[in-house]
Structure formats: structure tokens, C-alpha cells
Amino acid sequence: MIKVSLKTRSPSLAIKRFMTVHSTCESLFEGARQGQVIDSYWQELVVVDEMDKSKTKLTLSILLDKFNLERNATHKSMDESRLVVKRFNQIYPDMNANAISGVHIREFKSSLLKYLSDSSINKHLSVISSILNWANQNSYLTSNWHNPVTGKNIKIKSSKKTRLPLSQDDLRKLFTSPIYLNQSRPRGGAGEAAYWMPIIALYTGMRLEEIGQLRCEDIKTEGGIYYFDVNNEGSHHLKNTSSIRQIPIHSTLIKLGFLDDVWTQKGYVFPDLKVNQYHRRTQVWSKWFNRYLRKIGVTDSRKVFHSMRHNFKDALREVEVDEALSDALTGHSNQSIGRRYGVGYSLQRKNEAINRVNYPVVERFLG
């Protein structure tokens, strides 16, 4: 048997290379049948894995490249992992992964303490741990290997910031601000996104990126009910599979004329949003919005755009919408086995629930 690496994970490229190698192997076999010696041909065909421990150092950089070939990671995640490995290499250049000890990890952690938060440091350690665990599972490390990262994470203090919903006074400040009273459209607000995105968040509980990546064709109607079709098709990015859902459009948005604006457009609902290097449409806008909140007097740093998702969950509780239906509307995953069966709540049932949500202080100022 002759075993040859095609040196690619691309199916199309592998097929092309296979045909060449297959033809060569067939020639070798035919020659062998006629009594020819094939040792010299065999030497040409053997491909030495670049991971051969006797010839190549198994550095984190090499292992990360191999790891990335297998995992279904985003460009952002890969870039973040490369940054972690780069920082590790700045302290321990070209260190063999088998030689990385708990002492090295401890010293790496100590160096990060000078300029990173506890949670960021833990993410760095998690990246290294994941690379090493993958390498061990794929037999790149010694048989007696143990993970040097184990037990090195920093315990996050209980005072860690959590997001808070906007208070009634916060909502008053937002919806009496120039954007709503004077039709002001700040440059950083990306046109009509400044006006509509906070309202959509309050009345649907949608995540910021879910709103920002909406296309006009994602707004649909069925049985007289208009709804947002939150999906992961095309360039859309969702947090998880439970985020795929249909969310009825609250009557308040319809009364304010949201559908009138949408039907006149094609493409993205909010085309003026600036896309970042990872093709996310709302990261830049999020920073602008948080600055805007501080400017109008919402000074608590725990209150951000995501706070309105908390407002929506609280509003559902106030009108006694059960938690399972609330999760279906907001795209929260639930571990209950029973909830994994069936197709979920009907659009009609969700429409009835969502239209029970109300914010008197908001509706008073929006008219």
C-alpha cells in the first residue's frame, strides 16, 4: 500500500492532485509487476508531515494554523487567537508546545495583568488551552502531556459589571432628546438608524446586530401579521441557532410609520451603518449610541443599547407572558428537553404576546 498526503483540505484541489498521484501509483504498480524496483519512486512520493517532531518545533503558531483548518471559526475569532499567540511568542519565541509549563503560563498571565482586564486575560488563557487540547487530541504532543493552563484562570470578582435596563427617567431622556423631538440625525447615528433602532429594540428585544443586519426582504407578512424574519442566511450573523425566529412587528412601530419607510427601500433597512473589518454592521454605531446616552444624561456605564433587551424581557414579565414564550421571542436558548419538541409558538400567539408590551413614558413622547 502506498499512502500519500495530498497536502490540502480543499475537495476540488484534492481531486486534481489525486488524479496525478493515482496515475503515478498505477505506473509504479505496473512496473512492480514486471519486476522493476520502485524504491526510488517511493522516495519521491513520501511526503513528510511538517509536524514531524524530530525535525520541526511544534510551536503554538504552527499548531494554531492546523487548528484553524478544522474549526468553523469566524475571521474575528481567528484574528483574536493569532493576537494571543503573538503575545505569547513575544515572551517565549518559538517555544516548543511540549515544553510549555505551568510556570510559563503563570508568567504570561502576570505580563498581561499590566494592561488587560481579568476577563480579557482569561480569554487569552482559554485560547492557549484550546490550541493545546486540540494538539493533544490529535497526537501532536507527548503521551504524558497535561494542560499547563489548568487552574490558572483568574476568578472574576463578584463586582463584575452587568447590564441594567433603562429606567423610566432614562427612557424619558432618550425619547425627549433631539433625535426624537427635533428630528436631529447626528452623523454617527447613521441616518434613520438613530431613530428606529432603539424603538425596535424596546418593542422586540432584538439584539443590536440582528437589527442592524436586517434587509427589507426580512420583513414579511403572514395572515395579516407583519414580522421580522431573523435568519442566518447570506451574510447574516446570529449568536446561536435559537436566535433564528419570527418576531411580530409591534403595533407601535406600525403606527409610527416604520413599514412605510421600509417598503420604499431595497437592500439593508439601515444602509448607512458602517461595516467593520469583520463584516459586523453595528459595532461602530454601538459606540456612538453609548456616547449619545452619556451626552443626554444617562451616565451609568452599565446602561447601553443592550439594556433595552432587558427592558423588553421585564415588560413581558409585567404583562405575565410565560418564560417559554418570552424566550421564543427573544431567541434565548433553553435547556428543557420538552421545549425541543414541536415547532414552537404560532405567529398569532407571539403577536398577541408582543402587543401586550407597552411603555407609557415612551408612547407619551412618541405620540
Q: Is the pLDDT reported for residue 26 higher than 70? A: no
- Predicted local confidence at residue 97, as pLDDT: 94
Q: Residue 8's pLDDT band (boundaries 50, 70, 90)?
A: low
> Which of 277, 347, 354 has the alpha carbon at shortest distance from 316?
354
> What's the pLDDT score for residue 205?
96
Is residue 310 domain-shared with residue 174, that is, in the same domain? yes
In total, the chain counts a number of residues equal to 367
Cβ pair 69, 135 in contact under 8 A: no
pLDDT over 80 (residue 53): no
3-state secondary structure of 55: coil
Q: Is the pLDDT of residue 46 over 50?
A: no
Indicate whether 197 pLDDT > 90. yes
Report pTM.
0.65
> Residues with Cβ < 8 Å from 356, sequence gap 6 or more?
319, 321
The per-residue pLDDT for 194 is 97
Residue 150 inside a domain? The answer is no
Q: Higher pLDDT residue, 72 or 245?
A: 245
Residue 170 has pLDDT above 50, yes or no: yes
Cα R_g (the chain), whole angstroms: 28
Q: What is the pLDDT of residues 57-91, one digit of tens each?
A: 789 999 999 998 888 778 888 899 999 999 999 99
Query: Does residue 253 sit within a domain?
Result: yes
Distance spanning both ends of the chain, measured CA to CA: 79
The answer to whether residues 117 and 241 belong to one domain is no
CATH of the domain at 87: 1.10.150
188 located within any domain: yes
Looking at the structure, do residues 317 and 180 belong to the same domain, yes or no?
Answer: yes
State the greatest distance between any 2 C-alpha atoms of the chain, in Å, as a whole number. Answer: 95
Per-residue pLDDT tens digits for 91-124? 999 899 999 999 999 999 999 998 888 989 999 9
Instruction: For residues 139 and 108, give the distance between their C-alpha atoms in angstroms, rounded to a whole number.
Output: 25
Distances (CA, A) of 95 to 58, 86, 90, 142, 187: 8, 12, 10, 15, 48
Q: Which domain holds residue 104?
A: 60-137
Same domain, 132 and 22: no
pLDDT band at 10 (very low <50, low <70, confident <90, very high): low
Q: Which residue has the cell 525535525?
A: 55
Q: How confident is the model at residue 279 (pLDDT cuts 50, 70, 90)?
A: confident
Which one is predicted more confidently, 119 or 226? 226
Q: Stretch 165-186: mean pLDDT, rounded?
A: 96
Same domain, 226 and 299: yes
In this prediction, residue 125 carries a pLDDT of 96
Beta strands in the chain (DSSP E): 219-222, 225-230, 245-248
What is the distance between the alpha carbons of residues 117 and 114, in angstroms, rounded to a whole number? 9
Q: How many domains does the chain have?
A: 3
In a domain, 276, yes or no: yes
pLDDT for 312-334, tens place per residue?
Answer: 999 999 999 999 999 999 998 76
Give the CA angle between residues 149, 151, 156 to the nearest 5°: 110
Lowest mean pLDDT among 25-34, 99-108, 269-278: 25-34
The confidence score (pLDDT) of residue 77 equals 87
The per-residue b/e assignment along 271-304, b for 16 or more CB within 10 angstroms, e otherwise, is: eebeeeeeebbbbbbbebbbebbeeeebeeeebb
143, part of any domain: no
Do 91 and 28 share a structural domain? Answer: no
On whether residue 146 sits in a domain, the answer given is no
Q: 78 and 40, same structural domain?
A: no
**Residues 34, 74 within the same domain:** no
Q: Are 190 and 213 in contact (CB under 8 A)?
A: no
The CATH number of residue 339's host domain is 1.10.443.10
| Pairwise pLDDT comparison (194 vs 243), residue with the higher score | 194
Same domain membership, residue 213 and residue 69: no
Contacts 24+ apart (CB under 8 A), 188-192: 188/284, 188/285, 188/288, 188/291, 188/292, 189/285, 189/288, 189/289, 189/292, 190/270, 190/272, 190/273, 190/274, 190/285, 190/288, 191/270, 191/271, 191/272, 192/261, 192/270, 192/272
Residues 194 and 322 in one domain: yes
Q: Which of 327, 348, 351 is nearest to 339 (CA)?
A: 327
